[in-house]
Amino acid sequence: MADGRGTERVAVRAHFGAVRGGTLMGLLTAGILALMCVYMAVSVTQETPLAGVRIAVDAGHGGEDRGVCYFEEGLIEKEINLDMAQRLAAALQDLGADVLLTRSDDTFVPLAERAAMANAFGADLFISLHVNRIPGHPECFGAQTFYFPSSEAGKRLATAIQQELLKVDPDNYRQPMAGNFAVLRRSEMPGALVEIAFMTNARDRALLQQETYRADVTEAIVRGIIVFLQGDTDG
């Protein structure tokens, strides 16, 4: 409020309820309280950047559908997918997201049902996890993301995740690709299918058995999701 001299006086209700008008102590108190409020708000935002976001995490295959297997090295896709899905779900929940797992154990869930679960959940994003293979081409390697062809938002999501995956493996040259996958086609929200490695490549199989690689891929997917939600992607 203005006084008779044309100058502005600041009335601040301090934390303990007293009103201080224009005094140095009052201004200092106001400044400190304002800074505390800003710090607290920023801290909460930084610690829970996914608060209020609903994400469906889909562990590919399951039950009698084992997916790609390399029994000689104890690698079974359905088990890898579930492990990665649980890691991703935990990481997303730690950042405030509300997460749905389309399967949480070794059960078979039809593709249409997976998408229906995500739709019923009201998911904002859909992430499906798999392990890749190209029979007859053992030279192919590297994590890769896919999006439904007509989904521009899905393309941006897949691009954001792919860019982060490339940071995990500097030798990886792969880029996001369109793919007519049933879970992406039937889901009503932006989605990305992530092939975390090639089972048909010896190098990638070695990576799949490393705790650090699985952890790094999980973190990369989380970073990609955050980048997408912030709108900071060239996809």
Average pLDDT estimate for 90-108: 98
Per-residue CA distances from 110 to 55, 153, 158 (Å): 19, 25, 23
pLDDT tens digits, one per residue of 120-150:
999 999 999 999 999 999 999 999 999 999 9
User: Per-residue DSSP letters for 39-61?
Assistant: HHHHHHHHH-TTTT-EEEEEE--
Q: What is the pLDDT of residue 47?
A: 83
Q: Where are the domains of the chain?
A: 11-47, 54-230
CA pseudo-torsion sign 178, 167, 221, 209 = positive
Cα 153 to Cα 176: distance, rounded to the nearest angstrom? 13
Residue 8's pLDDT band, with cuts at 50, 70 and 90, is very low
Class of CATH domain 54-230: alpha beta
Average pLDDT estimate for 154-164: 99
Q: How many residues does the chain have?
A: 235
Cα 153 to Cα 159: distance, rounded to the nearest angstrom? 10
Average pLDDT estimate for 3-13: 33
Structure tokens at 200: 């048909």
pLDDT tens digits, one per residue of 31-50:
555 555 444 343 435 689 99
Report which of 205, 203, 125, 117 is spatially closest to residue 160, judged by C-alpha positions: 125
Mean pLDDT of the chain: 86
pLDDT at 10 over 60: no
